[in-house]
Amino acid sequence: GAVVSQHPSRVICKSGTSVKIECRSLDFQATTMFWYRQFPKQSLMLMATSNEGSKATYEQGVEKDKFLINHASLTLSTLTVTSAHPEDSSFYICSATDKNTEAFFGQGTRLTVV
Amino acid sequence: AQKVTQAQTEISVVEKEDVTLDCVYETRDTTYYLFWYKQPPSGELVFLIRRNSFDEQNEISGRYSWNFQKSTSSFNFTITASQVVDSAVYFCALSEASNTGNQFYFGTGTSLTVIP
């Protein structure tokens, strides 16, 4: 079946630095990918919709200048958390949709900002 | 408005008991998809089932079964003879056909603990 690979699975960074998370569709092309965030013991909340070749669409309350999304190809979307702070510590997970409209999730990235 | 409601925040059962996780959804679309995912402590989402809105047939897969009732907008999940390995957070999710690309609306999750 289709696979979505997310990297890294865990990252610890210092406050003020930037972190890039990659989401790749390994065996299909994804024109649309989604980025979700999950705080401890909470649900997954959509952050933004990433569209290949165009600007991402952000959900209300998500700072687009802080969470930079780039979807430069049909198999890769990246989320960069800029100037990370401890409150950005969370679990980030992406999903991608194939031509059959099946959605597949990455393994997630646990970000800890110290 | 919450599109997916999982009223049970935490459930504990003793091993071998049956347990039902409730899910109620809300949508104006006539075509939509419902999902259940398992999230173990490692965090990844493990796909359990996808059901489209036109298929109300209940499904059984081993110890898992799902009851989809459009009349009550519910998509409940039952684990029969629960095992310790079933301990996890379970999410019900909705995807609407009117949303291109399959954006998911997740419920708040039910944390299941199976006590040996």
The whole-angstrom separation of Cα B20 and Cα B2 is: 21
pLDDT of B100: 57
pLDDT, tens digit (0-9, with 9 covering 90-100), for B83-114? 999 999 999 999 887 665 568 899 999 999 99
Q: Band the pLDDT of B27: cuts 50, 70, 90.
A: very high
Reduced to 3 states (helix: H, G, I; strand: E, B; else coil), residue A100 is coil
pLDDT of A14: 97
pLDDT, tens digit (0-9, with 9 covering 90-100), for B30-78? 889 999 999 998 889 999 999 989 988 888 999 999 999 999 999 999 9
CB proximity B82 to A under 8 Å: no
Query: Nearest by CB to B45, which of A93, A97, A102?
Result: A93
Residue A90's contacts (CB-CB under 8 Å, 6 or more residues apart) are: A37, A38, A39, A111
CB proximity A23 to B under 8 Å: no
pLDDT of B57: 84
Structure tokens at B70: 């459009």
The length of chain B in residues reads: 116
Structure tokens at B49: 């089932």
For the residues A4-32, what does the mean pLDDT come to?
94
Output the average pLDDT for chain A. Answer: 91
Q: Which residue of B has its CA nearest to A43?
A: B108
Q: Are A97 and B109 in contact (CB < 8 Å)? A: no
The whole-angstrom separation of Cα B58 and Cα B23 is: 14
Q: Please report residues of A whose CB lies closer than 8 A to that of B44.
A: 105, 107-108
Reduced to 3 states (helix: H, G, I; strand: E, B; else coil), residue A59 is coil
Question: In DSSP terms, which residues pair with A22 in a beta bridge?
Answer: A7, A78
Question: In DSSP terms, which residues pair with A77 in a beta bridge?
Answer: A23
Which residue from B71, B73, B72, B76 is spatially nearest to B90, judged by alpha carbons? B76
Query: Nearest by CB to B43, which of A45, A46, A91?
Result: A91
* Amino acid (1-letter code) at residue A25: S
pLDDT, tens digit (0-9, with 9 covering 90-100), for A58-112? 999 999 999 999 988 889 999 999 999 999 999 999 998 876 667 889 999 999 9
Cβ A59 vs Cβ A44: under 8 Å = no
For the residues A7-15, what does the mean pLDDT come to?
96
The whole-angstrom separation of Cα A88 and Cα A91 is: 9
For the residues A11-24, what does the mean pLDDT come to?
97
Q: Which residue of A has its CA nearest to B88?
A: A41
The whole-angstrom separation of Cα B104 and Cα A25 is: 18
Cβ B20 vs Cβ B78: under 8 Å = yes
Asked if omega into A8 is within 30° of 0 (cis), the reply is: yes
For the residues B13-20, what does the mean pLDDT come to?
98
The whole-angstrom separation of Cα B48 and Cα A40 is: 22
Q: Please report residues of B whose CB lies closer than 8 A to that of A98.
A: none
Cβ B5 vs Cβ B25: under 8 Å = yes
